[in-house]
Homo-oligomer: A and B are copies of this chain.
Amino acid sequence: MNTYLPGSHVIATLESEQPELLRDAGSFKQLIDRLVVQYDLRQLGEVYHAFTPGGFTGIVCLSESHISIHTWPEFRKVNLDIYLSNYLRENDGTVQAIFETIVAYFEARVLDHHKIKR
């Protein structure tokens, strides 16, 4: 392949009134694991960390780039990144589908949303 094909990077801040979900790294990991299989992504590694007293961080490293989340239950906030390159396959629709699935999972309102082609 001789031409770089920019992928989509969605950078969003969500607000959720489901603080128990914002504390539950394990359930979120199960969601991501399902999405990785559903959209035929290749996972290279992951880091999940639960903070005391609440909130978690998760980063999933993909052959296609990465997904990251940082939750703040005390502020009802989620900072979410979904970035998939288009190197071997056009993944723009997958970025949007994963974004919508995560928004629905948290029953969230989108406070801020950027989409960068890169």
Interface residues of chain A, those whose CB is within 8 Å of chain B, are 4, 9, 11, 13, 44-47, 49, 51, 57, 59, 61, 63, 65-66, 68, 70, 72, 75, 77, 79, 81, 83, 85, 112, 114, 116, 118
The chain B residue sitting closest to A3, CB to CB, is: B75
- Contact assessment for B47 and A57 in the assembled complex, using a CB-CB cutoff below 8 Å: no
Pick from B51, B61, B81: contact of A47, CB under 8 Å: B61
Residues of B within 8 A of A59 (CB): 45, 47, 59, 61, 66, 68
- Contact assessment for B79 and A118 in the assembled complex, using a CB-CB cutoff below 8 Å: yes
- Contact assessment for A79 and B65 in the assembled complex, using a CB-CB cutoff below 8 Å: yes
Most chain-B CB neighbours within 10 Å: which of A70, A75, A116?
A70
Could you tell me the distance in whole angstroms from the C-beta of A64 to the nearest C-beta in chain B? 9
- Contact assessment for B4 and A75 in the assembled complex, using a CB-CB cutoff below 8 Å: yes
- Contact assessment for B68 and A57 in the assembled complex, using a CB-CB cutoff below 8 Å: no
Q: With A75-B4, A116-B114 in contact, is A57–B66 under 8 Å at CB?
A: yes
Residues of B within 8 A of A63 (CB): 49, 51, 57
